[in-house]
């Protein structure tokens, strides 16, 4: 019986979906976030402003890294901006052709197991999409918190305001990075869902054809 990961691995990555951005960019971005969090935590624990201010440096590098990733994404998808309809249609044709081949292979498996896999995937898609909604809300609330803290409404000490600024900035960058990662994961899950749905339809169609043939044979014998 196939697994979700094996179904996803069956789809060859198209040249259009491959990013030209170096893979080390992601690692560098997460490293900057970890270093920033470590410096912030150390500064808060030891009550050292220098460490808290130093946490801004790797956090700034992580923001720059995100901007670099966006530049690479725009470069990789420049054809889409020139001819959006044609680019999307070509990608859809390619994915649909791959899906038909993989769904035909999955149709050889038991229908009940395929239906169970699809039900499990439906539940996981709902759960993952809810997490994405939470991250979206967090990315919108973080700037609001930043404005309230820096506006002087609560008259907080400068030290506390600095802590909130770093924390809000880190939360915003973290939420954006997590939202991008979850969104990419959802694309893969939806690809699996579509393929399983197609395979289930193929199996059910085969069963209907067999049932019609048996019914015809029985009708001819009765006649």
Full domain range(s) for residue 131: 110-223
Residue at 91 is within a domain: no
Residue at 160 is within a domain: yes
**Does the pLDDT at position 137 exceed 50?**
yes
Residues 58 and 32 sit within 8 Å (Cβ to Cβ): yes
Residue at 186 is within a domain: yes
> What pTM value is reported for the model?
0.64
**Does the pLDDT at position 105 exceed 50?**
yes
* pLDDT of the residue at 15: 41
Greater model confidence, 9 or 91: 9
Residue at 209 is within a domain: yes
In sequence order, what are the residues at sequence separation of 6 or more whose Cβ sits closer than 8 angstroms to the Cβ of residue 183?
132
pLDDT tens sequence across 27-57? 888 899 889 888 888 887 787 888 888 988 9
Count of structural domains, the chain: 1
The lowest-confidence range among 7-11, 20-24, 40-44, 137-141 is: 20-24
**Does the pLDDT at position 133 exceed 60?**
yes
Task: Give the percent of the chain with pLDDT over 70.
Answer: 85
Across the chain, mean pLDDT equals 82
Greater model confidence, 110 or 145: 110
**Does the pLDDT at position 120 exceed 90?**
yes
Task: Give the percent of the chain with pLDDT over 90.
Answer: 25
* DSSP state letters, the chain: ---HHHHHHTSPPPTTTS--S-THHHHHHHHHHHHHHHHHHHHHHHT-HHHHHHTHHHHHHHHHHHHHHHHHHHHHTHHHHHSHHHHHHHHHHHHHHHHHHHHHHHTTS-HHHHHHHHHHHHHHHHHHHHHHHHHHHHHHHHHHHHHHHHTTSS---HHHHHHHHHHHHHHHHHHHHHHHHHHHHHHHHHHHHHHHHHHHHHHHHHHHHHHHHHHHHHHHHH-
Residue at 222 is within a domain: yes
**Does the pLDDT at position 84 exceed 80?**
no
Residue at 102 is within a domain: no
In sequence order, what are the residues at sequence separation of 6 or more whose Cβ sits closer than 8 angstroms to the Cβ of residue 118?
193, 196, 197, 200
pLDDT tens sequence across 191-217? 999 999 999 999 999 888 776 666 666
């Amino acid at each position: 019986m196939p697994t979700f990961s094996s179904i996803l691995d069956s789809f060859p990555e198209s040249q259009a979906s491959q990013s030209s951005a170096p893979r080390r960019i992601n690692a560098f971005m997460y490293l900057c976030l970890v270093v920033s969090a470590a410096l912030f935590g150390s500064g808060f624990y030891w009550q050292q402003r220098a460490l808290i201010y130093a946490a801004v440096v790797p956090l700034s590098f992580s923001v720059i890294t995100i901007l670099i990733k966006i530049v690479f994404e725009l470069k990789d998808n420049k054809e889409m901006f020139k001819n959006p309809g044609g680019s999307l249609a070509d990608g859809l044709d390619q994915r649909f052709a791959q899906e038909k081949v993989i769904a035909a292979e999955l149709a050889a498996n038991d229908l009940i197991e395929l239906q169970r896999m699809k039900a499990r995937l439906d539940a996981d898609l709902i759960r993952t999409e809810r997490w994405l909604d939470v991250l979206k809300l967090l990315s919108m609330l973080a700037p609001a918190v930043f404005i309230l803290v820096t506006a002087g409404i609560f008259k907080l000490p400068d030290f506390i305001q600095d802590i909130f600024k770093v924390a809000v900035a880190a939360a915003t960058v973290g939420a954006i990075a997590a939202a991008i990662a979850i969104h990419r994961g959802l694309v893969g899950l939806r690809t699996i869902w579509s393929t399983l749905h197609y395979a289930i339809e193929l199996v059910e169609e085969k069963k209907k054809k067999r049932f019609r043939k048996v019914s015809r044979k029985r009708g001819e014998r009765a006649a």
